[in-house]
Chain A
């Protein structure tokens, strides 16, 4: 179901916990699966449940609790902009408006070419760097002025 290298990474995570507590690795396993597949389909979660010997519903509970897990297919790049108050006071709304206008999509939408999905995020603990956004949960971009946004989108469009 998952590629051998993903399984290897998951095994590595499992090894961090006692043998009878495999399920402790569920969050990392979901993240690894998502890295490979881009999102978490029902079958993927089922597979992980099986792999970690836990009930599928328990995997689902975790996957639905954290919003960095994508339960729907998305564009190649997920851009999550923080819109909480400190960021909002420092230009987050302008940043959002700029991205929306540039990509022609709103929140929770994906561009026609399947490249970008735009998401609204909560405080990322980097209020001093506002406005901030995240690319695919992993790459943090700070001080996102319109210029820097253009630069980022150009780079990602390559």
Chain B
């Protein structure tokens, strides 16, 4: 530690600490622009000049290393003169257009100019003007305002992992730009808006729509990926105007992904449902709540009478709140059916009876930063979990090793130590090889449950390298991504990963796909009563029913054959044709059902035009209701509504309460959501007790690649594009104009294209099940042989079937 003095106060900072660090510790404010605690030191704005005893001239606090016994003065005559001088220079070329600048009111330059600027300028010469750049649909530029602090440049290099902005030119000609006309496409790009200390980079969607001081700041939690980013939602006249990060070092730090930041546009979408609607004689009619709820209650009773409660199912999105999911399952179970599930994109449920607890990250989010070796199975991490990817990127920079088993090889913008890009079907055997290699390296027996599966395997070099990485470098972890969870052999992947983790003494985690993936299990929005022992407050008054999982409800049995689907469905926050593993079969099952109740915030165009729904109930999105999300590390985060519900929209917990009472069920008299929460777990510590990724008694099947893959059959890789993952983000207009939201194409390796006789850009006919869609062909030579990457969760591919499995492609 180094002890020194700032403004007469003694402070000590670690070796390599700077004067700025000391000042931050003491709470002494030193004006600055280019300094940012998460970025490297550039020391180019010079605003932070301070006086240091015995130094001949003022020194920049951000870049001056603290030295023993040093005496620093931040407000002395010399310091203030220097700071004022810098400010005068900064303002020379600044347009001083605060009245029309979006940054006005939250601009560091404006604030500091009040403190250090002169009231009028001595500069009468011409000012320079810098042309604005088009950086894409999210960031708007006013480059004349730029003060060349390079925060935006350093953010790209150091945090986002991709340098998209740079400073071209020199001296007076220096300007910030992207490489000749390119847009900024990073999924974290919006953070440069927060970082820019002036109004040079501002939010395009928010631009000119409000002054910052008219906005109220309300706390909220992101409803998207499993991270649960903390948000400030800014509201004007009952409308969400923009979203900013709320700093939380152990979750999102000071960042937000673009999805979290810009998805709010979906809340104000034209497609919002504002009144209940019923379909009568094929016509959609608006109606009042009473009529709609009576219709639902009567409909459910009628189906129960005719087919039995077992033929009623509830499917919910894990983007729903804990309270909503709890009441939904309570309603279903009370009504006599345990058919409740939130895992619409999961296709393999064999592990259900074996799971010991709620699948979760297996560690805290902050711990991810300390990992030294990690194996990611099935995830394009930066698109599925942008900020978790960011944490691992920083870890890799500190020397950690990233290993990847995935069917696609998108650039993760970080160094990958060992990668195995294999067909989906081969992922299982690759993982088994890693396990075998790990057992060999450690000289331990292969556990019985996986012995059959691995005994015949040849271990490849890459598998051995991965095993060595996990064993030799500690702490290490194995993480299952979204794609692994959607994989048709998820059970095997899960079990192999668990055993591998035990052998390698690594941590083992499941990355939560949605904001409430953990919460959905805790709320028991799952059919299996054994998955989780009911917490204390959930007495076993309810009969332990065994229900159907999402696939079975939709008429797909374990073997893939079509079984008896439900006759009535209650859907919560879902667009079934986009949110399920097999959209084709899902829609077919819904079409055939007698009653489909859709609770959601949107008039889903599919639901309206295909007419599978019978009634639409407008329920509040996360900004219009209070609720709880439990993020992937098991952290309980409670939030309140930030605006009043739109039109006649109601919070879903209230709707379910009324519905429960209408169906004559007990225990639906709640006055406040807190009561619902208290029923799920009386206190938050209950949650961590329930988290457990381990399976018991699950035997892994042979890992031989299934037949058919050798005969040239094409396998689909159907991942979920970042901006198609949930109903809100699908309607976020600006995000939908980014490159990441481009219309799906059929990606294939060159060899496959040659075999099919198609060329880049040709139209191809893609067939799966009975569905056919027409897509453009695109080439990606990094894809495994005989695989076609055709995105799921998109209206253009909704006519297709399983996200993985055989698919036919032919030239048009």
Q: Which residues of A contact B (CB under 8 A)?
A: 42, 45-46, 55-58, 60-61, 64-66
A60 to B165, CA, bound (A): 10
| CB pair A58 B169 closer than 8 Å | no
CA distance A3 to B794 in the complex (A): 45
CA of A66 to CA of B173 in the docked complex: distance in angstroms? 12
Do residues B164 and A64 form an inter-chain contact, with CB atoms below 8 A? Answer: no
Annotate B153-195 by CB proximity to A: 1 below 8 A, 0 otherwise: 0000000001111111110010001111010000000000000
List B contacts of A45 (CB < 8 A): 179
CA distance A156 to B692 in the complex (A): 80
Contact of A60 with B163 in the complex, beta carbons under 8 Å: no
Tell me how far the C-beta of A145 lies from the nearest C-beta in chain B, rounded to whole angstroms: 32
Which of B162, B165, B170, B178 meets A64, CB within 8 Å?
B170
In the assembled complex, the CB of B777 is this many whole angstroms from the nearest CB of chain A, namely: 24
- Choose among A42, A57, A66 the residue that contacts B164 (Cβ–Cβ < 8 A): A57
8 A Cβ contacts from B119-172 to A: 162-170
Residue from A56, A58, A61 whose CB has the most chain B CB atoms within 10 Å:
A61
Closest to A55 in B: B163
A55-B163, A57-B163 given as contacts; is B180 within 8 A of A64 (CB)?
no
What sequence of 0s and 1s flags, for each residue 321-332 of chain B, a beta carbon within 8 Å of any chain A beta carbon?
000000000000
In angstroms, Cα B675 to Cα A5, docked, is 77
Q: Cβ of B164 and Cβ of A65 under 8 Å apart? A: no
Q: Point out which of B166, B167, B170 has the most chain A C-beta atoms below 10 A from its C-beta.
A: B166
Q: Of B169, B170, B173, B178, which contacts A57 at CB under 8 A?
A: B178
What 19 additional pairs, Cβ within 8 angstroms, besides A56-B179, A57-B165, A61-B166? A42-B180, A45-B179, A46-B179, A55-B162, A55-B163, A55-B164, A55-B179, A57-B163, A57-B164, A57-B168, A58-B166, A60-B166, A60-B168, A60-B179, A61-B167, A61-B168, A64-B168, A64-B169, A66-B170
Q: How many residues of B are counted as interface, with CB atoms below 8 angstroms from the partner's CB atoms?
A: 15
Q: Is the interface of B mostly helix, strand, loop or mixed?
A: mixed
> What are 21 A-B contacts defined by CB distance under 8 Å?
A42-B179, A45-B179, A46-B179, A55-B162, A55-B163, A55-B164, A55-B166, A56-B179, A56-B180, A56-B182, A57-B164, A57-B165, A57-B179, A58-B163, A58-B166, A60-B168, A60-B179, A60-B180, A61-B167, A64-B168, A64-B173
B166 to chain A, nearest CB (A): 4
B397 to chain A, nearest CB (A): 13
For B177, the chain A residues whose CB sits under 8 A away are 57
Cβ–Cβ < 8 Å partners of A55 in chain B: 162-164, 166, 179
Among residues of B, the one whose C-beta sits closest to the C-beta of A43 is B180
Bound state CA distance, A57 and B180, in angstroms? Answer: 8
**Which residue on chain B has the smallest CB distance to residue A46?**
B179
A58 to B162, CA, bound (A): 11
Q: How close is B393's CB to chain A, nearest CB, in angstroms? A: 15
Of B170, B177, B180, chain A has the most CB atoms within 10 Å of the CB of: B180
B-chain residues with CB within 8 Å of residue A65 when the two chains form the complex:
168-170
Nearest chain B CB to A49 CB, angstrom units: 8
Q: Which residue of chain B is the closest to A59 with respect to CB atoms?
A: B179
A57: chain B residues within 8 A (beta carbon): 163-166, 168, 177-179
Chain A nearest CB, measured from B396 CB (Å): 14
Inside 8 A of B169's CB, which chain A residues have their CB? 64-65
- Name the residue of chain A whose CB is nearest to the CB of B164: A57
A40 CB to closest chain B CB (Å) equals 11
Please name all residues of chain A whose beta carbon is closer than 8 Å to the beta carbon of B178 when the two chains form the complex: 57
Chain A nearest CB, measured from B634 CB (Å): 38
Residue of B nearest to A54 (CB): B163
Bound Cα distance A66, B177 (Å): 17
Residues of B within 8 Å of A61, CB to CB, are 166-168
Which residues from A are CB-within-8-Å of B164?
Answer: 55, 57
Residues of B within 8 A of A64 (CB): 168-170, 173
- On chain A, the residues within 8 Å of B173 by CB distance are 64
Q: How far is the CB of A99 from chain B (nearest CB, A)?
A: 25
| Bound Cα distance from A55 to B178, whole angstroms | 10
**In the complex, A46 Cα to B182 Cα: how many Å?**
12
What chain B residues lie within 8 Å of A42 (beta carbons)? Answer: 179-180
Instruction: Report chain A residues within 8 Å CB of B170.
Output: 64-66
Query: Chain A residues with Cβ under 8 A from B167's Cβ?
Result: 61
Q: Closest residue of chain A to B180, judged by CB?
A: A42
Q: Considering residues A45, A57, A58, which has the most beta carbons from chain B within 10 angstroms of its beta carbon?
A: A57
Residues of A within 8 A of B163 (CB): 55, 57-58
A65 to B168, CA, bound (A): 6
Could you tell me the distance between the alpha carbons of A37 and B190 in the complex, rounded to whole angstroms?
38
Residues of A near B179 (CB, < 8 A) are 42, 45-46, 55-57, 60
Chain B, 386-427, contact with A by CB distance < 8 Å: what is the 0/1 string?
Answer: 000000000000000000000000000000000000000000
Residues from chain A with a CB closer than 8 A to the CB of B168 are 57, 60-61, 64-65
Distance, CA A66 to CA B170, complexed state (A): 8
| Shortest 6 CB-CB contacts between residues of A and residues of B | A57-B166, A55-B163, A64-B168, A56-B179, A57-B179, A61-B166
Chain B 37-85 interface residues, beta-carbon cutoff 8 Å to A: none
**A65 (CB) vs chain B CBs: closest residue:** B170
Q: Complex formed: what's the CA distance from A65 to B178 in Å?
A: 15
What are the residues of chain B within 8 A of A66 when measuring CB–CB? Answer: 170
Query: B160: shortest Cβ distance to chain A, in Å?
Result: 11
Q: Which residues of A contact B180 (CB under 8 A)?
A: 42, 56, 60
Closest Cβ of chain B to A66, distance in Å, is 8
Closest residue on chain A to residue B181 by CB atoms = A42
Task: Return chain A residues, CB-CB under 8 Å to B162.
Answer: 55
Q: Nearest Cβ in chain A — how far from B174, in angstroms?
A: 9
- Closest B-chain residue to A57, C-beta based? B166
Residues of A within 8 A of B166 (CB): 55, 57-58, 60-61
Give Cα distance in the complex from A56 to B166, angstroms: 9
A66-B178 Cα distance, complex, nearest whole Å: 18
Bound complex: CA A61 to CA B162 (Å): 15
B697 to chain A, nearest CB (A): 48
Bound-state Cα–Cα, A64 to B170, Å: 7
CA A8 – CA B286 in complex, angstroms?
A: 73
CB distance from A89 to the nearest CB of B (A): 24
For A60, list chain B residues within 8 Å (CB): 166, 168, 179-180
Residue on A nearest B167 in the bound complex, by CB: A61
A46 to B177, CA, bound (A): 15
Q: Which residues of B contact A46 (CB under 8 A)?
A: 179
A55 to B179, CA, bound (A): 9
Chain B: minimal CB distance from A104 (Å):
28
Q: Give the docked Cα–Cα distance between A101 and B162 (Å).
A: 49
Q: How far is the CA of A115 from the CA of B664 in the complex (A)?
A: 94
B165 — nearest CB in chain A belongs to which residue?
A57
Point out which of B164, B168, B170, B173 has the most chain A C-beta atoms below 10 A from its C-beta: B168
CB B314 to nearest CB in A, in angstroms, measures 49
Chain A residue contacts of B165, Cβ below 8 A: 57
Q: Which residue of A lies closest to B415 (CB)?
A: A20
Question: Most A CB atoms within 10 A — which of B168, B177, B179, B182?
Answer: B179
For residue A111, give the distance in angstroms from its CB to the closest CB of chain B: 26
A45, A55, A58 interface centre (most CB from chain B within 10 Å): A55
Measured in the bound complex, the distance between the Cα atoms of B92 and A39 in whole Å is: 34
Q: How far apart are A11's CB and chain B's nearest CB, in angstroms? A: 23
In this complex, what residue of A is CB-closest to B178? Answer: A57
A56–B182 CA distance with the chains assembled, in angstroms: 10
Q: Name A56's closest neighbour in chain B (CB-CB).
A: B179
**A65 to B171 CA separation, bound complex (whole angstroms):** 9
Q: Which residue of A lies closest to B166 (CB)?
A: A57
CA gap between A61 and B180 in the complex, in Å: 11
Residue of A nearest to B169 (CB): A64
Inter-chain CA distance A96–B266, complex, in Å, is: 63
Compute how far the CA of A40 lies from the CA of B180 in the bound complex, rounded to whole angstroms. Answer: 13
Rounded to whole angstroms, the CA-CA distance of A56 and B163 in the bound complex is: 8
CA–CA, A45 and B166, complex, Å = 14
- Distance of A45 from chain B, by nearest CB (Å): 8
Name A42's closest neighbour in chain B (CB-CB): B180
Nearest CB in chain A: distance from B175 CB, A: 9
Bound Cα distance A93, B177 (Å): 36
CA distance A67 to B436 in the complex (A): 59
Measured CA separation A57–B178 after assembly (Å): 6
